[in-house]
Amino acid sequence: MVNYNGRSYVCLLDFAMDFIRGKWKAVLLCHLYNEPKRFLELQRMTEGISQKVLNEKLKELENDELVCKKVYAEIPPKVEYSLTDKGKELTSIIKEIESWSVKHYPELDNKCV
């Protein structure tokens, strides 16, 4: 059993999977893989996600130190989200899983990015 921040995990794999568990986290990380994105860009790219859920998931990814939020001192305000080094490393693994899916289920043909 692994305990971290008041949560219990069956093993380190269960702990690691918690970073991308859920419908949107892995998709958002993949959207940020090549370059920083603004909030509305991410919302447009992520079909079906509400503003509220997108905001929640970005905050969770930021708290997990996978995503960095940069606020520019401009009017109107400009905010960009990008991957941290830890986020880039994890996203590389996610993209390998996506490649596996494409290889074994080519008929689905719906890559995240």
- Quick one: pLDDT at residue 42? 98
Q: Give me the residues paired with residue 7 across strands.
A: 4
Task: Report strand pairing: 37-38 vs 78-83.
Answer: antiparallel
Q: Is residue 110 part of a domain?
A: no
Q: Is residue 41 part of a domain?
A: yes
Q: Is residue 71 part of a domain?
A: yes
Q: Give me the residues paired with residue 72 across strands.
A: 78
Q: Kindly report the CATH number assigned to the domain that includes residue 59.
A: 1.10.10.10
62: domain range?
2-104
Q: Which two tokens stand for residue 80?
A: 């960009």
Q: Is residue 113 part of a domain?
A: no
Does the structure show a pLDDT above 90 at 3? no
User: In terms of C-beta distances under 8 Å and separation of at least 24 residues, what long-range contacts does 47-50 make, across chains too?
Assistant: 49/24
- Quick one: pLDDT at residue 111? 64
Question: pLDDT by residue (tens digit) across 11-68?
Answer: 988 888 888 998 999 999 999 999 999 999 999 999 999 999 999 999 999 999 999 9
Q: Is residue 112 part of a domain?
A: no
Does the structure show a pLDDT above 90 at 89? yes
Q: Which two tokens stand for residue 53?
A: 């859920």
The domain total for the chain is: 1
Q: Is residue 111 part of a domain?
A: no
